[in-house]
Chains A and B, each alone.
Chain A
Amino acid sequence: GESVGLHLPTLSVQEGDNSIINCAYSNSASDYFIWYKQESGKGPQFIIDIRSNMDKRQGQRVTVLLNKTVKHLSLQIAATQPGDSAVYFCAESGNNRLAFGKGNQVVVIP
């Protein structure tokens, strides 16, 4: 029979507005976290990273916040542009591998 797939959480945002994407991670011992952007038909593309000894890191138009107390990461995108439309994954590094979260789809409305 036909299987029903899971639908990704979707954030629709007006062009020019700010976007916030959230992620919960599982391993309290993880010390390095990365946000990736994945466009349709492409591989994950590095956006920004943060080590566990920091709680905030800024890049160009992006900011990552880390709350180790509740094991939570967020990615803020300032002045969202149509080219930001993609699926965004957080990943935690440990044991020679990356463990990815489930992903959030961002749709930018022109």
Chain B
Amino acid sequence: NAGVMQNPRHLVRRRGQEARLRCSPVKGHSHVYWYRQLPEEGLKFMVYLQKENIIDESGMPKERFSAEFPKEGPSILRIQQVVRGDSAAYFCASSPPVSGGIGYTFGSGTRLTVV
């Protein structure tokens, strides 16, 4: 029973390019969350999605960032026109419905480096 799968593990982008980060949740989990972690800091909430719905995107920058969780396939976090400040580790977590934080499982993250 695979956990949360994120790919790629490492991503290098030049300033101005687009970054696409993928997350496949634990089988049976319908809720996906994205978090960002800067070096030596805790994780910061970005967005919470259910299948085909964005439930809460209050932690995500209004410009350049978008997220989706389609009916089929992985959840995607998309960052357009990346800047150096976007360099961070991005973690995805999934949970069963009505979790309240219980049963959260994190992936190993995608480390984005903008050069």
B52, CB-defined interface residue at 8 Å: no
Segment 29-56 of A: residues with Cβ below 8 Å from B: 32, 34, 36, 41-46, 49
User: What is the 8 Å Cβ interface bit string for chain B, positions 91-115, against chain A (1 contact, 0 not)?
Assistant: 1000000001110111111000000
Q: Which segment of B12-20, B40-48, B63-71, B75-83 sits at the interface?
A: B40-48
Give A91 to B106 CA distance when docked, in angstroms.
Answer: 13
Give the number of chain A interface residues (Cβ < 8 Å): 26
Q: Which chain B positions have C-beta within 8 A of A102?
A: 41-42
Identify B101's interface contact among A7, A34, A41, A103, CB under 8 A. Answer: A34
Q: Which chain A positions have C-beta within 8 A of B33?
A: 97-98
Give the number of chain B interface residues (Cβ < 8 Å): 24
Q: B100 touching A43 by the CB < 8 A rule?
A: no
CB distance from A53 to the nearest CB of B (A): 14
B59, CB-defined interface residue at 8 Å: yes
Q: B40 touching A101 by the CB < 8 A rule?
A: no
Q: Taking CB as reference atom, which chain B residue is nearest A36?
A: B106
Q: Which chain A positions have C-beta within 8 A of B41?
A: 6, 102-103
